[in-house]
Structure 1
Amino acid sequence: MTTVVAESVTQLSAFSDPASVAVVGASADPAKWGYWLASGALTGEHRRRVHLVNRRTDTLLDHACHPTLSALPDVPDLVALCVPAPFVSDVVDEALALGVRGFLGVTAGVTDEAELASRIRSAGARLVGTNSLGIYDSATDLSLAWGRFTPGPLAIISQSGQLGSELAALGARHGVGVSRFVSIGNQSDVTAAELLADLGNHDPTRVIALYLESFRDGESLFRTLRALRDTGKPTLLLTVGASAASTRLARSHTGSLTSALDVVDAACRAAGVLRVSTPDELVTVARAFLATTVPAGDRVAIVGDSGGQCAVAADVTSANTLTVPGLSQALTESLAGRLPSGAASSNPVDLAGAGEQDLGSYADVVECLLSADESDAVVLTGYFGCYARDAPALAEREAAVAERIGRASAETGKPVVVHTMAPESSTAQVLWRHGVPVFDTIDSASRALAGLSRLRPPVPPNQAPSETVPQGPLRPGYWAARELLAELGVDFPDGGVVRTREEAVELAGRLRAPWVLKASWLEHKSEAGGVAVGIAGTQHLVRSFDDMHARLGDGDYVLEEQDTRSGTVEILVGARRDPDLGPVIVVGAGGTETEVLQDIALEVAPVGPESALAMLERLRCMPLLRGWRGRPAASVDSLVGVITRVSRLITERTDIAEIELNPVRVAPDGALTVDALVVAAEPAPAP
C-alpha cells in the first residue's frame, strides 16, 4: 500500500472534494452512524474512490469491505470516524502513519479530544468534529452525514448537528436546498471561521445559515463574515444567549449593562450579518433573499383589499422596525384616481373592492407606488392569489397581474412581498417565479421584509481620529485614569491630588468653589462614601476631609472644582474588551441611575464621528441633549469627540480591559468628565 497523499488534498479541500474517502465503522444497520456515512459516501462513487472499513465482514452494502485502513489499496484523502470512542485514537494513529490528511469525527465522548486534535495538526492533517453530524457538498456529490440533503443555494455551518438538520429540512420544505452542510461539533480543530472563509469561492452558495453557541476568536469570525457579505453572500446567524461571549466585566456600569447578545448584535451590524431568533425566521428571510432584492431603506407601502388586513399589516410592519410613512398629496391623488370613491390612498392603500371590478388594479397600484420615490418596498396583503383558487376561470387573468407585479419589482429594483390567503395557489407560484416572495401570514411576510432590510450591505466604517493614543504603564485610581484620558483630549474640571487636610486647604485656595472631594483609589466611590460634593468653604472642606479620612484611611484624595453649569445632561461613555469579540464602545444615560434607566447603545470599536452620533440618536435621552422644553441644546459635538477618543483608546491599548467615564456632564459650552475608571486587562496566562 502506498503512503503518498494525493497532491490535490490541501487543508480543507479534503472536506469538500476528496479524491477518496474511507468510512471506518461502516455498517449495514440503518440505526447506526456507519450506515448513513457509508451509504452516503457511495452516492458519490462516480466521482471518488469509496472504501468501507469494518473488521467483522468482507462485504457491506454490496461493496467490498476491508478490516483496517492499512488493508486499503490506497491512502484515502478523508477518513470518517464512526467507531466507538475508545477506538478512535488507535484509528487516528493508524491513519496518520499512512499519511491521511483529513478526518471527520462523528464519534462523541472521545477522551482527551484536545490532545487528539493536537496530534492530528502536528502531523499536518485536519479534523472536523469531534461530535459532528457530518458534511455534505452538492457541487462535489459528497455526502457523509446522517440523513439526505436536497441540493440548493443555502450553506449551513452549525455547531449543533441536529439544529443544522432542522434548518436543512425546513429549507427543503420550502424549496430552499443545501449547497454545503458542515456540522462543526466541538470544533476540536477546524473552526467555523475557516469553513466560512472556504465558502467565498463556493459557487453554489448564495446565502449562509450559521448556528453558533460560542464565539471563539470572534473578531476573526466576523471579519470573515464581512468579507463574505462584500462578495454578495450574506450570513443569517442563529445563536443563544449563553455563549462564551456572555462573560461580563462587572467592575463598572459598562460591564453590568451590556450582555452577550448586545455585543454579538454590534458585531453583526458591523459585518452586515443578520441575527435571527428561530430556524423558521432564518429560512423565511433566506427564501425572500433568494427570490428578490434587498430594499434600499426601511420605508414600506402597504396595499390590501381589506381595511382590517391593511391595518394589521401596518401594525406588524411597524413593530418589525420598518416604517409606514404617509404619502405625498400628489401620490395620494394619483392613487385615488385609480380606486373607487372612498378608498384609502394615503398608506396603507385599501383597494376597497377595486380588485373585483378590475384585477389589474392590484398591479396598477403596486406599479404606481414602486415608481414613486416615497417607499423602498411594497407589502401586498389579503385576497390576491385566491382568485385562481376560488374562481378557476380567473386563474389566467390573475397570473398575468402577478407577472406585471414581478416585472415592476425587477424594473424598479424594489422588492414586493405578498401575504396571501392562498399560498398554495397557482398565482402564488407565478409570483415566486417572477421574484416576488409569498407567505401565508402577514407576520412571516413582515419578518421577511424586515430581514431583507437589515441585510443591506454594511456602511464602510467612518474612521476615528488617528492621533496617537497615550502609552505608558497603567496605574490604578481615578487620578491616573484622569491623566490618561486628559492626554487623549478628554476634558476634566481643574483639580489635584491631596493626602492631608493641609494639602487640601492649600489646593482649594487655587480652585473655584464649590469643590468635590473624592477617594481616588475607590472604583465605586458613592457606594463607599468616598465622594463629597457641594463643599462651599474651608471649614466645610476640613470637616469633609476629616470625616472621609477617618472612615477610609490614608490614600490619594482628589479635590476638584464642582461643575455647576446649568443645562447639563449626564451621559455614560464606556468601553470594554469582550473576551471573544474584541473592543466595544457603549454610550448611555449616565449618573447614579444608569442601571435603572437602562438606556444604552453599543457598537464595535473604534467608531468615527458619524457612528458616534448615530449611537446617541438611538438613546431615549437624546432629546435632552438636543434641548428639551426650551432648554438650550448641549454640545453634542464635544460629546462625540469623547466617544471617538475612548473608542480609539480601547481599540489600540490591548492592556486595557475596561474604561468608564460616568458621568460626562454635557452643557452648551462643552463636555466635562467628572469621574472615570480604567481597568487593566488580566495578564495572559503562561503557555
Structure 2
Amino acid sequence: MTTLDVFRAPESVAVVGATDNPAKWGHWLARGAVAGAHRRRVHLVNARGGQVLGRRSHPHLDTLPEVPDLVAFAVPASVLAVGVRDAVALGVPGLLAITAGIEDEAAIGDVIAASGTRLLGPNCLGLYDASSELELAWGRFTPGALAVVSQSGQLGLEIAGMAADAGIGVSRFVSVGSQLDVCAAELLADLAHHETTRIVAVYLESFGDGERLLDALDRLREAGKPVLLLTVGASKAARQAARSHTGSMTSGIDVVDAACRTVGAVRVDTPSQLIDTAQLLMRCAPVRGRRIAIVADSGGQGAVAADTASRLGLTVAEFPPEVQERLAARLPSHAAVANPVDLAGAGEEDISTYASTPAVLADTCVTDAIVLSGYFGSYGRDIPGQQAAESEVARAIGSLAAERALPIVVHSMAEHTDTVGELRSAGVPTFTDIEAALRAVETAHRFTQAPRPRVPHASAAKHRVAPGAGYWAARGLLADAGVPFPAAVHIAPGTPDPRAAMRSLSAPVVLKADWLEHKTEHGGVATGLHDADALGAAYDDMVARLGSHGYVVEEMDRRTDVVEVIVAARRDPSFGPVVVVGAGGVQAELTQDLALELAPCSHDTARAMIRRLRSWPLLSGWRGSRPVDADALAAVVVAVSQLIADRGDLGEIELNPVRVSPEGALAVDALVIATAALDSPPRT
C-alpha cells in the first residue's frame, strides 16, 4: 500500500466524532463509512460510547480492536491536535481532518512531518472514491468518471452535483483544504493510474510548487486524462508589487494559462463551463478544428447560434455549392442550405430529418463539429405518440457521431425528457443553452492543441546582479545574452562635458539618465541630438534637474517601417520564470496587448506568441508598410527567456521599446531588477 492508498482504498476506517445527529459532520462521515462496511472494517469513535447508527461506538482510538488504516476526524478545533498526536502514536497511516478554525496548524504539521503518517486537510469537506465505495464527506455522490480535486470543498461539491445532473457522475472527490501535508499535486499525480477516472476537474486558489503541479498534469496528459482547471483572481497584489510596466500588466491568470498550455490542460471560467466541457469530452470524439456546422429548425435560433459561434472564435463557413445542392435535394424549397442550415419545418414533416441532415454534412468533410439547435428533444414530451420515433432518431444521431468519429452536439429546448436521456446514452452531449453548447465545443478543441515543450530552468543564481544596476549595466548583461542594442557611450557621474561622446557615434543621438527605471516619466530622455552642442545643452539641463549621475549617449534608430514592441520577463512565485512580448512604447499600458509563456521558450513558441498579439497586423505589413523581421524579434524573446531562466538572481527584465524593422530588432531601453531589489522602492 502506497502512502496515498489509504485515502483511496483503506482496509479499515475509523470516524472520530461519530454521532447520530444529522446536523453534524460526524454523522455524515459515519453514515458514509458504514455504507462501505461491506468493503472494509468500520469503527466509530464517540467519547460517550454507546450506539451510533445502530453500531457500537468506542470512547477512544486506543480502545479500538485494531489500528485502522484511515482515521477521519470530525471534532472541535480545540481537540484535533490531541487526536492527531494519539493517532500518530498508534501508527495510523492516514488521517482525514475535516476540522476548521485551528489556531496552530503548524504545530499539527510538525507532528505529521516527524512521523510516517499522512494527513489530508484540515479544513476540508472530505473524500469519496466510487471504485472502492469509500465515502467520507458531506453530501451524496453519483458514481461516474469525473475526478474532482478542489481547494474549496463546497465548490467541489457544486461541481460534483452538476456532474450528476449532466449524467456523468464522479469517480473520485477530494477536498484538499489547507494542504498541511497531502497536496493537490500529489493527489492529481495519483489519478493518472486511477482506472475509473477519465477526466479530471481541478479547482485551486493557490498553486504552491508549480513545477510539481506541472509534473502531475503532465502525467495525466500522458495517461490520456484531460484536465479542466478552474481558478480565481488575477492577482492584483502581485501586479501592484511589480516594478516593471509589464509586471503590472500581466496577472496570475496569464501565468496559469501559460502553464496549462505547457502541459495540455485547459483553464475554464466557471463550474458550468467545466461540466459542459467534461460532458462533451466524455461523450464525443475529439473536436479537431474550429469549423462548426449549425443545423436549426428555426431561422432565429440558427442566426443566434452562428453569431455566438463567431464570437467564441469558431468558424461558421458557408458550405460549398455541391454541399448546398445535396442539402437542398432533401429539404423543402424554402429551407436555408448555407451555414447555418434552417430546416424550415422539415423536421415536423419527417422527424428523421434531424439525423439525415447531419449525415449529409458528416459525409462532406466540411466541418469539425455539428451543432443541432432547436425543438428536437421536445416532440415526445409534447406529442407522446412521437416518442418512439424521436428516440429512434436520437439513437441514429448517436450512431452517426460514433461511426464518423465526429462530434455532434444538441442544443434542445427540452431539459429532462426521454429523448434527452436517449441522446446522452447514445453519446451525444445535450445542452439547454446554445452558448454553453458552443463554448463547450471551443473549449474541447483546445485539448487537441499540442502542449508547449517544457524546458528545465535554473533554481538558483550562479551570479549576482547589483540591485541598483542601471541602463548601462542592463545593456551589457542583455547584449551578452544576444540582445542587439545601438552603439552607445557611458558618461560617468560628475563628467563636466559630454561632447566627446559624439566622436565615436553617428548623429543623431539620444541622451538617457542611466539610473532611472522609467526614464520618460521623469524627463530622463532627450532625443534627436544632432551635434555636440545639442548634446551638451541636453546634458546640462538633465544634470540641473535630475542630478549629477551616470548618463548614456546612444545612437538614435533612424530606420523606417519600425514597430515598437515590449519584451519582458519576470519570476512567478509558483511557476517560476515567464517571458512576455507585446505592443510597446509609451502606450504599452493603454493597449495591454501581451502574450505570455513559461520561460525559457523555443523560437517556435516565441513566433507563436508574436502571432497571437492583436497588433500582429502591424508587424506583418499594415497598409503598405513592409513586414518587420519577426524572426529577429523572436530571437530577442528567446534570449530574454533564457536569461531569466538561467539567472535566479534576476527578478524582472524589461526591454521597452524593442524597435523592430524589416532589417532586424534593436532594444533601445532596458530595465533589469535583481531579485533582492524587488522589495525596495523604485529608483527615481
Q: Provide TM-score, normalisation by structure 1.
A: 0.94
User: Match of 2:351?
Assistant: 359
Once the two structures are superposed, the pairs formed by residues 642-681 of structure 1 within 5 Å of their partners are 642-681=636-675
Contact 1:481–1:677 (CA<8 Å) still a contact in 2?
yes
> SS where residue 597 of structure 2 aligns?
strand
Q: Which amino acid aligns with 1:629?
A: R
Q: Give the aligned residue type for 1:401.
A: V
1:517 aligns with 2:511: yes
- Hey, what does 1:303 align to over in structure 2? 295
CA distance in 2, matches of 1:370, 1:462: 37
1:576 match: 570
Corresponding residue of 2:253: 261
Change (3 A) 1:570 1:465: farther
1:497 maps onto 2:490 in alignment: yes
Alignment partners' CA distance in 2, 1:464 and 1:131: 34
* Matching residue of 1:564: 558
- Stretches of structure 1 that go unaligned for 5 or more consecutive residues are 1-8
Say which SS state the counterpart of residue 448 (structure 2) adopts: coil
- For residues 456 and 666 of structure 2, the distance between their equivalents in structure 1, rounded to whole angstroms, comes to 20
2-structure distance, mates of 1:645, 1:334: 54
Q: Distance in 2 between matches of 1:614 and 1:332?
A: 36
Aligned counterpart for 1:447 among listed residues 439, 451, 469: 439
What amino acid is the match of 2:634?
V
Is 2:416 the partner of 1:417? no
- Give the AA of the match of 2:335: A
Alignment correspondent of 2:682: none
The alignment status of 1:177 with 2:173, answered yes or no, reads: no
The counterpart of 2:604, out of the listed 580, 588, 610, is: 610
**RMSD over aligned Cα, in angstroms?**
2.3
* Secondary structure, aligned partner of 1:682: helix
Following TM superposition, by how much is the alpha carbon of 1:281 offset from its aligned partner in structure 2, in angstroms? 2.1
**CA distances 1:412-452 after superposition (whole Å, capped 9, x unpaired):** 22201011122333332222222111112212212222222
Residue 463 of structure 1: how far off its partner (Å): 7.4
Q: Greater CA deviation, 551-560 or 36-45?
A: 551-560
Of the structure 1 ranges 190-199 and 165-174, higher mean CA displacement relative to structure 2 is found in: 165-174
Which letter does structure 2 place at the counterpart of 1:447?
R
* C-alpha distance in structure 2 between counterparts of 1:641 and 1:465, whole Å: 18
Are 1:216 and 1:244, in contact at CA under 8 Å, matched by a contact in 2?
A: no
Deviations 1:623-678 (A, max 9, x none): 11111111111111111111122122222222211111100001111111000111
User: Per the alignment, in what secondary structure is the counterpart of residue 548 of structure 1?
Assistant: helix
Structure 1 pair 362–173 and aligned structure 2 pair: CA distance change class (3 A) = closer
Q: Does the alignment pair 1:595 with 2:562?
A: no
Q: CA 1:242 to 1:506, structure 2 compared with 1: closer, same or farther past 3 Å? A: closer
Measured at CA, do residues 632 and 513 of structure 1 come closer, stay the same or move farther in structure 2, by a change above 3 Å? same
SS at match of 1:617: helix
Which of 271, 286, 300 lines up with 1:294 in the alignment? 286
The residue number in structure 2 matching 1:5 is none
Q: CA deviation at 1:501?
A: 4.8
Matched, 1:236 2:248: no
Deviation readout 1:435-488 (Å, 9 max, x if unpaired): 11111221221222222222325335397999xx99664561111111121112
SS in 2 for 1:388: helix
Structural mapping, 1:340-355, within 5 Å: 340-355=332-347
Determine the C-alpha separation between the residues in 1 that align with 2:269 and 2:139. 25
Q: In the comparison of the two structures, how many residue pairs are matched?
A: 675
Q: How does 1:80-95 map to 2 (within 5 A)?
A: 80-95=72-87
* Per-residue deviation, residues 59-116 of structure 1 (Å, max 9, x unmatched): 3222222121111111111111222111111112211111112111111112211221
Of the three residues 569, 580, 585, the one matched with 1:586 is: 580
**Aligned match of 1:271:** 263
Instruction: For 1:682 and 1:472, locate their aligned partners in 2 and report how far apart those are by CA, in whole Å.
Output: 10
In the superposition, relative to structure 1, how do residues 242 and 539 fare at CA in structure 2: closer, same or farther (>3 Å)? closer
Q: 1:245 to 1:53 in 2, by over 3 A?
A: farther
CA contact (8 A) 2:457 2:645 kept: no
**SS at the partner of 1:506?**
helix
| In 2, Cα distance between equivalents of 1:628 and 1:400 | 55
CA-to-aligned-CA distance 1:566-619 (integer Å, 9 cap, x gap): 110000111111111222211111001111111112222222222222222222
Alignment of 1:138 with 2:138, yes or no, is no
Number of the residue aligned with 2:478:
485
The structural deviation recorded for 1:284 is: 1.7
How far apart are the structure 2 equivalents of 1:242 and 1:628? Answer: 33
Aligned-partner residue type, residue 230 of structure 2 = L
Counterparts of 1:58 and 1:378, CA distance in 2: 61
Which piece of structure 1 moves more, 325-334 or 299-308?
A: 325-334
Is 1:323 the counterpart of 2:306? The answer is no
What's 1:114 paired with?
106
Is the contact made by 1:306 and 1:352 (CA closer than 8 Å) also made in structure 2?
A: yes
* Contact 1:464/1:645 (<8 A) preserved: no
Q: Is the 8 A contact 2:236 2:251 kept in 1?
A: no
Pair 1:662–1:492, CA change in 2 (3 A): same
TM-score of the superposed pair, with normalisation by structure 2: 0.94
Amino acid at match of 2:583: A
Shift of 1:301: 0.8
- Over 3 Å counting, the alpha-carbon distance change for 1:597 and 1:450 in structure 2 is same
What is the CA-CA distance between 1:492 and the residue it aligns to? Answer: 0.5
Percent sequence identity is: 53
Work out which of the residue numbers 201, 205, 208 in structure 2 matches 1:209: 201
2 CA distance for matches of 1:178 and 1:318?
33
Residue 483 of structure 1 aligns with an amino acid whose one-letter code is G
The alignment partner of 1:379 has SS state of strand
Instruction: Report the CA distance shift for 1:167/1:465 in structure 2 as closer, same or farther (over 3 A).
Output: closer
- 3-state DSSP of counterpart to 1:509: helix
SS of the residue 2:285 aligns to? coil
Which stretch of the first structure deviates more once superposed, 382-391 or 21-30? 382-391
The corresponding residue for 2:548 is 554
CA contact (8 A) 1:138 1:179 kept: yes
**One of 4, 19, 22 as aligned partner of 1:30:** 22
- 1:122-173 deviation digits (Å, cap 9, x = unpaired): 1111111111111111111111111221211111111111111111222222
Of the structure 1 ranges 385-394 and 676-685, higher mean CA displacement relative to structure 2 is found in 676-685
Give the Cα separation in 1 of the matches to 2:236 and 2:505.
Answer: 48
1:132–1:598 distance in 2 versus 1, CA, 3 Å: same
Check conservation: 1:230, 1:457, Cα contact below 8 A: no
* Mapping 1:35-50, distance limit 5 Å: 35-50=27-42
- Pairwise mapping of residues 359-398 of structure 1 onto structure 2 (< 5 A)? 359-398=351-390
3-state secondary structure, aligned to 2:624? coil
SS in 2 for 1:238: strand
Distance in 1, Cα, partners of 2:406 & 2:636: 39
Partners of 1:406 and 1:375 in 2: how far apart? Answer: 17
1:245 Cα deviation (Å)? 8.7
Aligned equivalents of 2:76, 2:177: Cα separation in 1: 16
- Contact 2:457–2:600, Cα closer than 8 Å, also in 1: no
Partner of 1:542: 536
Q: Is 496-505 or 426-435 further displaced after alignment?
A: 496-505
Query: 2:6 is matched with which residue?
Result: 14
Give the whole-Å Cα distance in 2 for the aligned partners of 1:487 and 1:153.
Answer: 52
Q: Which moved more, 1:655-664 or 1:641-650?
A: 641-650
Gap change, CA 1:211 and 1:364, over 3 Å in 2: same
Q: What pairs up with 1:50-89 in 2 under 5 angstroms? A: 50-89=42-81
User: Counterparts of 2:462 and 2:175 in 1: how far apart (Å)?
Assistant: 45
Matches of 2:497 and 2:487, distance apart in 1:
16
Change (3 A) 1:142 1:464: closer
Shift of 1:558: 0.9
- The answer to whether the 8 Å contact 1:85/1:109 transfers is yes
